[in-house]
Chains A and B, each alone.
Chain A
Amino acid sequence: MIEFINTTKEFHVGQATVKALNHINLTIQKGDIFGVIGFSGAGKSTLLRTVNLLEEPTSGEVLVNGKNLTKLSKKQLREEKKNIGMIFQHFNLLHSKTVFDNVAMPLVLSGANKSKIAAQVQEVLTFVGLQDKAHRFIDELSGGQKQRVGIARALITKPTILLCDEATSALDPQTTKSILALLKRVNSEYGITILMITHEMEVIRDICNRVAVMENGQIIEEDNVLHIFSAPKQDTTKNFVQSVVRNEIPQSVYEQLNVIDGSKRIYNMKFIGVDVGQPVVSQVAKKFAVDVNVLFGNITELQGIPFGHLIVELVGSATEIQKAFLYIQSKNIHMEEVVAHEGEHTDYHQRTVGYAVHG
C-alpha cells in the first residue's frame, strides 16, 4: 500500500519556485494496478519518484506499507528499497553486462551468494520468458526484450511494489501489449502492487483497475477505470478517454441524417458494464416491426467488462420505433437519438427520443 498525504514537491528554477506536486492525497491499495495519467510536466514522474525517494518530498508524507521512508536510516532505506522494484521508459540497463549480470545486480549489491543468485536469476528470467537469453548482452536485444530484462531485474528482490515509469512509451503497440500482459501477470501471480505513470490511455484501459488524472501537480480526478471511462468529469480526462474510446459520431452517420425520411431514426446505444453479448439487436428486429442497421460501432473491454457504443438505424413506423427504443432501454442500455448537428459533433448528446423534435 502506498499513501500520499499532502505530498508537495517544489523545484527552484532560478528565482522561481515550481510546484511539481501540489498537496497530493492519494492511496494505492495493496494489489492495485494503479495508473497515473497526465501530459508531460503534469508532475506524474515526480509523484512516482517520491515513492522510492529518488525525489524527496518538500513537505507532506509518502507512506510505503505504512512506513515513511524519509525517517529511515541509510541502511534501513537500502533494505526497504528492495521492496520497491522500478522499471523505466529507457530501461536503464547496463550495456557493459549480460542479461544475467543485469538481473543479478540487486542481489550482488546486497552480497548474496552465487548459487542463490544463479537460482533466482533463472527463476525470474523464466517468468519473463528470457531463460535462453541469459548470456546475451543488452545491445543484442529488442526493445521489448530489454524491458523484460528490466522487469526481471525489478522482480529479483521479491518486492511488494513495482513502480513503472512510462514503461511502454518507447515500445511499439504490439510490444506494448505483450509487456502489459506480463505486468498483469506480475500483479496476479506475485500479488505485486503496481503504480504506473503513462500518457497513453490505452495502457490504463488495458491493465489498470484504478486511475488518477494529473494536471499542474494536482490530482484532478481519481476513480476506478470503469467510472473514469464511462463518466469522465474533467476536460483533460474526457480528452484522454476520447483518445481510446471514439465516442463521437462519425461524419458519415451525420450525412445519413440528411437523406433520412420519417421512417428512420438513428440512435447511439451506449454499453457500460452491461452484457453486450446479449443479442439485443436481433431481439429488437424479431420482436418489433423494425429493421436494425448497424452504422458504426466501437466496443472495448475494461476489466473484462464490455464498454463502448453502437450506432444503429431503426427503420419502421414511429410507434414501433418508440416501442423498440423503450425495450432497449429496459435492457439497461443507455440510448440517445442522433440528430442533425449544427457544426459541432457534440450537439446530439442531450436528446432522447421522448423529445426529439427534428424531421
Chain B
Amino acid sequence: MKVSTQIIINALLDTLYMVSISLIFGAILGFILGIVLVVTRKGHILENKIIFSIVNPVVNTLRSIPFIILLVAIIPFTRLLVGTAIGTTAAIVPLVLHIGPYISRLIENSLLEVDEGIIEAAKAMGASPFQIIHKFLLPEAFPSLILSVTTATIGLIGATAMAGAVGGGGLGDVAITYGYQRFDNVTILVTVVLLVVLVQIIQSIGNTIERKLRRVA
C-alpha cells in the first residue's frame, strides 16, 4: 500500500462526516417531501392537486439526474449556499439534494403501508390532519421508516465515493486517486473492505432498531 494509514483514517472520517451531515439534512428534506407526497394525494387527509402535481415531478426530476452530473451541475448553487464549490462541505449540498428526494420516496412508501383503517379511526375520533400525521401515521410507520433511512444511508455512502470529483475527499476518492490511478490494488482493497464493513455495521444497526421497535424476538 502506497498510502499512509493516516490518509485512510482521514478519508474514513471525511466519509462519515459527509454521510452524517447530508443524512441529517437529507432526512429532514425527505420526511417533509415524503409526508407532502402522501397527504396531498387524491383521497388523502390534505388532498391538494396543485401541491402534489408540483412536488411529485420535482422529486422525480431530482431522482433521475445521475449524481455525478448533479454534483457539477449545481456548483453555482453550492457556492451560493456554502461559499465554496470545492471540498468536503461543498459535497454535502449535492448529496442532500440527491438523497432527500430518494428518502422522500422511501418515506412515501412506508407511510402508504399504514392501514387505512388507522386513519379512519383517527378521523372518527376527531383528530386534526396534523395529529393524524404526528400521532398515527408516523408512529405506525416508524419501524419501516427506520429501514428506509438505513437503506438511504447506504445509498449515501455510495454517492460520497463520487464526491472526489469536487475535491470532497472520503474513502471513494482515495480508492480512485491513490488506488485506481496509481495502480495500487492494495489501497483499493483496503478502502473497499472498509466500505463493506461500514455498510454492514449500518445495516445491522438499522435492522436491530427496527426489530426492537416491532418487538420481534
Contact = CB atoms under 8 A, between A and B. Distances in A.
Interface of A: 52, 54, 74, 77-82, 84, 86, 88, 90-97, 105-106, 108-110, 137, 139, 153, 157, 163
A61 to B, nearest CB: 20
Contacts of B115: 90, 92
B83 interface: no
A254 B10 CA distance: 95
Contacts, number: 60
B142 A109 contact: no
B121 A88 contact: yes
Contacts of A109: 125-128, 131, 135
A92 B117 contact: yes
Contact of A54 (B124, B136, B142, B213): B124
Listed residue (A52, A94, A153) with the most chain B CB atoms within 10 angstroms of its CB: A94
Given A92-B115, A94-B136, A94-B139, A54 B120 contact: yes
Contacts of B127: 78, 109
A95 B140 contact: yes
Contacts of B215: 137, 139
A331 B74 CA distance: 95
Given A88-B121, A105-B125, 19 more contacts: A52-B124, A74-B128, A79-B126, A80-B126, A86-B124, A88-B117, A91-B117, A92-B115, A92-B118, A92-B121, A94-B139, A96-B139, A96-B143, A106-B126, A109-B125, A109-B127, A109-B128, A109-B135, A163-B124
Tell me the dominant secondary structure on chain B's binding face: helix
24 contacts: A77-B126, A78-B128, A79-B126, A81-B125, A82-B125, A84-B124, A86-B121, A88-B121, A92-B117, A92-B118, A92-B120, A92-B121, A93-B121, A94-B139, A96-B143, A96-B213, A97-B139, A105-B125, A108-B135, A109-B126, A109-B127, A109-B131, A139-B215, A163-B124
Contacts of B140: 94-96
A94 B118 CA distance: 7
Nearest to B216: A139
Listed residue (B120, B124, B131, B213) with the most chain A CB atoms within 10 angstroms of its CB: B124
B57 to A, nearest CB: 25
A231 B128 CA distance: 47
